Structure 1
Amino acid sequence: MGGSKFHALMFPWFATGHMTPFLHLSNNLAEKGHRVTFLLPNKALKQLEHLNLFPDNIVFHSVTVPQVDGLPVGTETASDIPSSLEPLLMSAIELMRDQVEDVVRAVEPDLIFFDFAHWIPEVAREFGVKTVMYAVTAASTIASMLVPGAELGVPTPGYPSTKVVLRKQDAYSMKPIISIGPNFFERIAISLSNCDVIASRTAREIEGNFCDYIEKHCKKKVLLTGPMLPKTDKTRELEEQWSKWLSGFEPGSVLFCALGSQTVLEKDQFQELCLGMELTGLPFLVAIKPPRGLSTIQEALPEGFEERVKGRGVVWGGWVQQPLILSHSSVGCFVSHGGFGSMWESLLSDCQIVMIPQLGEQVLNTRLVSEELEAAVEVAREETGWFSKESLRDAINSVMKKDSEIGNLVRKNHNKWREALASPGLMTGYVDNFIESLQDLIVCETNHD
């Protein structure tokens, strides 16, 4: 690809689900010869170092998260704290403005990529630098934030969907957000309004109507990067413990459940999840953190559970190689929390998809896949947000039983979407077009000067 090489500065929200896609994007830029300076706190730097595929072109620059009242000492990322304290981390990051200005002054980037740090466009303007608000969540989530009431299912003229909305019974997923300074939604609104261009980690095939809606509403371009999943490392193999265990079962028979790195269930809901998996009668692997207030999985399991599922069921509290497990021939169903990264991984897999969202954004992703694309099934909940072992079992059985009408429908639709997304050149085409648009943005600015 021609065009002049540029230097991008990355400043993501300090949470794994944001830093990782920012780094995948950086790898794609670096592969084409562009330079990246990536701002990270020390702890995250050590965790992400191995994902930097182009260390000559991508330089990590460590920054210090200042201490603010109420934030536990040593907090650097969202993984260090419960979600109720995230607004305090946002406030701490706001105090990093001087550090960011020093880096901009020193490295002189052409572009700054950011998401929640709504003050970045102000800093960039002082230095004559262009800004890209990079939304790593679904375009449908951003679109729903733009319209009062749309996120609660209130009919809104021009809003592209009556399905990808939150409903009254989703109240459990909308955790109250205590904020200092602008609240979360105000930060997003300011970021969208003040950036030079919006970038979205999605594909037009899946969310084109939502991207058009954002463009129209914000009166600025929305550039698409595609899903930005990591390049598969052909040399990496599934850990022997899991490949050996999975190979003991029939093809397409194993249930794999993973609810993301930040989901921590209450003990009774955790037990309901385990019992629901048991009730299916199918082999299963559940990768999940210990429930709230407990330090191990073992102490939380239902009475007699381990004995009953011995040989066919495992509940695991540690990290697992999710993409490699999903691609194992024995795995036939993925029970997911509907995080955006997991959503793409599930669509690109051969597995049936069952979703149990935990947060508002995950609920919208779930509605996108289960109702708009009709490629998955959502687990039914009571008004309290509680899901029962029976509702989990029923959702899984509805897609796993051979003669199931729902199962056949979602499998047919899932195959259609997977083939569209996996078509040769689609993902690289997104990256090439994206980089070209960035080059045009920088050239326009230079000519304007």
Structure 2
Amino acid sequence: MAEIQETSSPLHIVVFPWLAFGHMIPFLELSKRLARRGHAVTFVSTPRNAARLGAVPPELTARVRVVTLELPAVEGLPDGAESMADVAPEKVELLKKAFDSLAAPFAALVGEGCASHTGGDGEADGFERKTDWIILDFAQNWVWPIAEEHKIPCAMFLILPAALLAYIGTKHDNEAHPRRTTEDCMAQPPWVPFPSTLSYRRHEAEAIAAGFRPNASGVSDIDRLLQLVHHPSCRLIVHRSCPEAEPWLFPLLTDLFAKPVVPAGLLLPGDVVDDEDGHAPGGGHEPFAAAVRWLDEQPRRSVIYVALGSEAPVTPAHIRDLAVGLELSGARFLWAIRPQSGDHSAGALLPDGFERRVAGRGVVRAGWVPQVRVLAHAAMGAFLTHCGWGSTMESLFRFGHPLVMLPFVADQGLIARAMAARGVGVEVPRDDADRSFRGADVAAAVRRVMMEEEGEALARNAREMQEVVGDRVRQELYVDELVFLQRYK
């Protein structure tokens, strides 16, 4: 447990993430880091999400408070849906529409000065003071009148890699080089002046092109982002990343956007047990003891962990093809399948007889799995992943596991290209016409990483990368350097 530091200039910081667990969890981790450095943090979310995120550590309750805003109902959005984990991919734009309705209650919260609060010892704490900073996600393009009225500076905290912002570029860049077609979205941006992996495959570019078009909320995701980063009240941009993970990009972005673009580090929890304290996005989780006993019986570095995240648009067809590939590969595996349509039975999603045929060398778990605990196990040798930034950090940067990569959306293709270029992973080929993949190609990629000579080089490269990027002392220094909050206030 990190020691709480006192600071001579404590701040009151309001932190407000987008409604996805891949966003809320790192925002909460940043909040804890800031609180340990003596600042008071008001963390804003919705009631159900706040409950599923779990309790603030007791030693931080005097410095971190969670405030909830009721998410308004929107036609077409399922009852009780408050996060991307609660909705199908095609409903996410309705979640953004509901999120926009939080502008008025958020304005009231800020206008009240984030109402004074008393700690458990009865003494007034930092919450009674006016908000010094608001730390936002990509989605709150409606925040500027609120920030301007109360003269509160804002910082954007982007949980996605710096590579995605470099790919998107500035408003001026996009006006000078408009991306109107899929082909436009496949090319490296002309404002990136050095060779890079900043390009998309066709099926990924089609999804990226959709991000430039307005959705049901009335605005595109790219416009939301650019409205935020270019506003004068946005004093700086903070990435959950670091130069060791993404060389050359931070100076480029600072030049492009004419404001500081700085790393917060990876913000990984300090101990594996921290992963056990969180809650599953669906609320609760099944006992995991049997899977742990199975892992304990497997040879060192012999198992590949398979998980495609809590919010990737995975279909039943994807699951069936992945099952075919894992069976053909002959590898030992532990597979966490996210339930779909309320069905918590893995068997309902798998080919007939699959679990019987792989019995002894493969374990399938439906629902939530303590991912960090699994990745930390000595039996784990690689990770088959959708290449979400958080999962890449946990597996590669934290534990040095090579990757079998199956990207779906957003930044995931950029991450896969970058990790392949650095020799730490193998990407599964996809059909550009329908975005499908073949079980045989999954099997070939798994064998390359787990069973063939190439896998030894990938594992060695992954461990070397982990030693550099996963340096905990260096990572904490990035948070220490967030004194820019005082400097730019």
Quote the offset at 1:424 in angstroms: 5.0
TM-score by length of 1: 0.91
The answer to whether the 8 A contact 2:304-2:332 is kept is yes
User: CA offset at residue 114 of structure 1?
Assistant: 0.6
Aligned partners of 2:380, 2:96: CA distance in 1, in Å? 39
Partners of 2:424 and 2:159 lie apart in 1 by 22
Q: Of 262, 275, 278, which aligns to 2:311?
A: 262
Equivalent residue for 2:474, pick from 418, 426, 443: 426
Q: Match of 1:75?
A: 81
Q: Is 1:344 aligned to residue 383 of structure 2? A: no
What do the CA deviations read for 1:308-340 (whole angstroms, capped 9, x no partner)?
Answer: 111221221121111111111111111111111
Q: Which residue of 1 aligns with 2:202?
A: 168
**Map of 1:363 onto structure 2:** 413
| Alpha carbons 1:3, 1:439 under 8 Å: kept | no
Cross-structure match for 2:457: 409
Larger CA deviation: 185-194 vs 297-306: 297-306
CA distance in 2, matches of 1:97, 1:126: 14
Q: CA deviation at 1:170?
A: 2.8
1:144 aligns with one of 167, 178, 194: 167
Among 99, 114, 119, the residue aligned to 2:142: 119
1:160/1:209 contact within 8 Å kept: no
1:279-299 deviations in whole A, cap 9, x for unaligned? Answer: 111211110124568553212
Residues 1:353 and 2:403 are matched in the alignment: yes
Contact 2:272/2:376 (8 A) holds in 1: no
What is the CA–CA distance in structure 1 between the aligned matches of 2:197 and 2:404, rounded to whole Å?
Answer: 17
1:44 partner letter? N
Matched residue, 2:253: 214
Structure 2 unaligned regions, length at least 5? 115-129, 277-286
Question: CA separation of 1:427/1:117 partners in 2, compared to 1, >3 Å: closer, same or farther?
Answer: same
TM-score between both structures, scaled by the size of structure 2? 0.84
> CA shift at 1:73, angstroms?
3.2
1:228 aligns with 2:263: no
Sort the Cα spacing of 1:141 and 1:186 in 2 relative to 1 into closer, same or farther, 3 A. Answer: same
Q: Distance in 1 between matches of 2:292 and 2:209?
A: 38
Listed as ranges, the matches of 1:11-410 within 5 Å are 11-52=16-57, 54-106=60-112, 107=114, 108-115=130-137, 116-146=139-169, 147-148=173-174, 149=179, 151-154=185-188, 156-171=190-205, 173-174=207-208, 176=210, 178-194=215-231, 195-234=234-273, 239-290=288-339, 296-347=345-396, 348-371=398-421, 373-383=422-432, 384-404=434-454, 407-410=455-458
State how far apart, in whole Å, the 2-side matches of 1:240 and 1:294 are: 22
Aligned partners of 1:264 and 1:292 also within 8 Å: no
**Partner residue, 2:119:** none
**C-alpha separation in 2, matches of 1:417 and 1:315:** 29
Equivalent-residue separation in structure 1 for 2:207 and 2:299 (angstroms) = 36
d(CA) in 2 for partners of 1:175, 1:274: 30
Aligned-pair CA distance for 1:121: 2.8
Greater Cα offset, 166-175 or 413-422: 166-175
Q: Which moved more, 1:216-225 or 1:226-235?
A: 226-235
**SS of equivalent residue, structure 1 residue 207:** coil
Taking the aligned partners of 1:316 and 1:159, their CA distance within structure 2 comes to 45
Q: Is the 8 A contact 2:400 2:464 kept in 1?
A: no
- Higher mean C-alpha deviation, range 285-294 or range 349-358: 285-294
> Counterpart of 1:197 in 2: which secondary structure?
strand
Does the residue aligned with 1:391 lie in a helix, a strand or coil?
Answer: helix
CA shift at 1:109, angstroms? Answer: 0.8
Following superposition, the deviation at residue 13 of structure 1 comes to: 0.6
Summarize the Cα distance change of 1:236–1:75 in structure 2 as closer, same or farther, 3 Å threshold.
closer
Which digits, 9 at most, give the CA deviation of each residue in 1:356-376, with x for residues without a partner?
A: 1111321112112122x2211
Q: Distance in 2 between matches of 1:118 and 1:424?
A: 34
RMSD, matched Cα: 2.2
CA 29–136 in structure 1, closer or farther in 2 if over 3 Å, else same: same
> How far does residue 228 in structure 1 lie from its aligned partner after superposition?
1.0
Q: Shift in Å at residue 236 of structure 1? A: 7.5
The one-letter code matched in structure 2 to 1:439 is: Q
The answer on whether the counterparts of 2:240 and 2:265 sit within 8 Å (CA) in structure 1 is: yes
Q: Report the identity percentage.
A: 29
In 1: Cα distance, 2:189 partner to 2:273 partner: 47
Partners of 1:358 and 1:302 in 2: how far apart? 22
Give the unaligned 5+ runs of structure 1: 443-449
SS at match of 1:315: strand
SS at match of 1:205: coil
SS in 2 for 1:397: helix
For residues 202 and 251 of structure 1, the distance between their equivalents in structure 2, rounded to whole angstroms, comes to 30
Look up the equivalent residue of 2:251 and give its one-letter code: D
- Matches of 2:17 and 2:27, distance apart in 1: 7
Please name the residue that 1:439 is paired with: 486
Task: Please list the CA deviations of residues 227-280 of structure 1 after superposition, one character each: whole Å capped at 9, or x if unmatched.
Answer: 111221558779432221101111111111011112353223211101111111
Secondary structure in structure 2 of the residue aligned to 1:360: coil
Aligned equivalents of 1:390, 1:175: Cα separation in 2 = 30
Contact 1:266–1:292 (Cα < 8 Å) also in 2: no
Give the CA deviation at 1:172.
Answer: 6.3
